Chain A
Amino acid sequence: MSRAYRIRVKESSRRELKGSDEICTDLEVLEILPPEQMGELLKKELKEKGFAEDGGKLVRKDGDVTITVDPKTCEVTVRSDVSEEVTLEAERVEQAYDDVGPGSKEVRERAKKELAKDLDRKAKERTEKLEGKATEQLEKKLCDLQPELSEVVNRVTREALKQKAQQLGTVKEIAEDDETGSLTIKVEV
């Protein structure tokens, strides 16, 4: 007469899960001066906003969000990276007709394979949640970043216009209105 044995198999795994999201876009910088000079002006303004130069690009890290600007191409990359170290656990209970023989060994191996799949599934679910968190952070950051970069571009445009005016002739008068954002330059050619 055969008896059924209940075999309980447990697995746990410690993993570092990562979720990320990023967008790439271009800053609309007018070509008032040659691209190299516009790039230099952009670099200067961004440094004032806390960006640091890294391999020709300007980078700033705000928490989990990294903002990278290429002053040559005016390409902006905003990337949000979220990571979490988690311990994932899974358990399976299977039936076997012996407790130490080949039947039980086979059942244990099968259960272990299933457990590995369960752990991967759990890890995937957690990663998706992390990705959601990364997207949320990215969206929030974009809302804050838009006016900041807009201001940077405006300052670059103003500075470029001033330099262009100096190239055209003698600057007689510069009037700036911070409220309306208007800039009037009188040049004697």
Chain B
Amino acid sequence: MAATDSPPAFSRFEFNLLNLTKFAVGHLPAGPAANLLTTQLPPPPCLTAECVRIVEDTLAKGTVLHLVRAGGWRKERFIRGNAPAVGRVWERIPPDERQLTFSEAPLAFLMWLTAEKPTAAKAKWDVKAHYLTAADELFFATVFEQLQTTEKNAEAVAGKWVFADNPLCRLYAPAEFADADPVSFDRWVVGERAVILECLQPHLTAKWVKSERAKGEIDDWGRIRRVGTSEDRTLRDFLAACDKAGRPDLARFVLTTAKTVLGAGGVDLDFWTGGLKGPPPNRLADRLNAQRAALALPRQMDTLQAWDRRARSVGYFDDGYQASQVWKQDWESANGEGLTATARRLIEQLEPLRT
């Protein structure tokens, strides 16, 4: 009897693995995890059943908790079918459409992370992105986010397919994938992935606002050009996918980011380019392209405005009227027209032949 009550015994590898699992889902801060990320341990031939059970439990509960905290708890309005659905995520979506299924990839990655030091890994581990489930992609995006809070680890793993070809990672941190090929967002605007995106809207807004604010600190012209170009490409591809799927509501975070950034009184070009104190490129063309790239977010306002114009043209008796009202309402509550005017003013200020 006493034996069954005693806590399970784990090997050092398993102990580290369990802690890194907690870190991966955001339940362990970067400080305590830093040591684990620099420790290299030989992996055992197999893990104990109890260890696997705890990893599965942590992934299941940790990922759901992350989605709920990120925004799933909020009473929101999203398009479902051809009409708006209102409520918290578990009120809007039936249980069978919000089940998270993990493949073996997350556990395999966690074992690699425990065995290797990401910045000096000897063993290669990777999985093609199309083998990943929606839950896997969310897991890897969360892991990437967590690794960004540590030193150099995110850069070290950014080239792996599970991160580089993961559309959610691109939305989380486009600057980290400036040199990577574009990815398609088509899978992320339908089905269970769209539900995940619904939950992540406030989280994405917070990330993009932070990223926009950080641009004013960048002093390197080349870097701001790379960051801006990557952000512009990511946003354009994502907005095109949302438009194609008839889900403008999934791009709400772009509008709310614009509201926070452009809606703040007195925003000027210095907000994005004020930090460029480093030696400028010799060519005017390069200088101009860097400054233009910095305004990646304001450049999307024309697309969002076009969506509003289209929504307004849908008649009361037309198909999709109710769905069109969702974006119209979002646009009005964010003062989209005012934001677009501000965005245009800023973009025009950069143009050398303003007439």
Contacts and interface: CB of A to CB of B under 8 A. Distances in A.
Interface in B298-355: 348, 351-355
Interface in B58-86: none
B355 A150 contact: yes
Contacts of A145: 353
B282 to A, nearest CB: 6
Interface in A123-161: 128, 131-132, 134-135, 138-139, 142, 145-146, 149-150, 153-154
Contacts of A85: none
A146 B352 CA distance: 8
Nearest to A128: B282
B355 A28 contact: yes
Interface stretch (A6-14, A18-26, A95-103, A110-118): A18-26
Interface stretch (B203-211, B256-264, B283-291): B283-291
A27 B282 contact: no
A82 interface: no
A132 B283 CA distance: 7
Nearest to A80: B284
A76 interface: yes
B284 A21 contact: yes
Interface residues of A, number: 23
B352 A135 contact: no
Nearest to B283: A21
Contacts of A135: 282-284
B352 A131 contact: no
A22 B282 CA distance: 12
A57 B216 CA distance: 39
B282 A23 contact: no
A131 B284 CA distance: 10
A142 B283 contact: no
Given A23-B284, A23-B288, A153 B355 contact: yes
A134 B288 CA distance: 15
Interface string B262-289: 0000000000000000000011110010
A21 B351 contact: no
Max chain B C-beta neighbours (<10 A), residue from A21, A27, A153: A21
B245 to A, nearest CB: 30
Given A134-B283, A146-B353, 14 more contacts: A21-B284, A21-B285, A22-B285, A25-B351, A25-B353, A26-B351, A27-B355, A28-B355, A132-B282, A145-B353, A146-B352, A149-B353, A149-B355, A150-B355
Interface of B: 282-285, 288, 348, 351-355
Interface of A: 21-23, 25-28, 76, 78, 128, 131-132, 134-135, 138-139, 142, 145-146, 149-150, 153-154
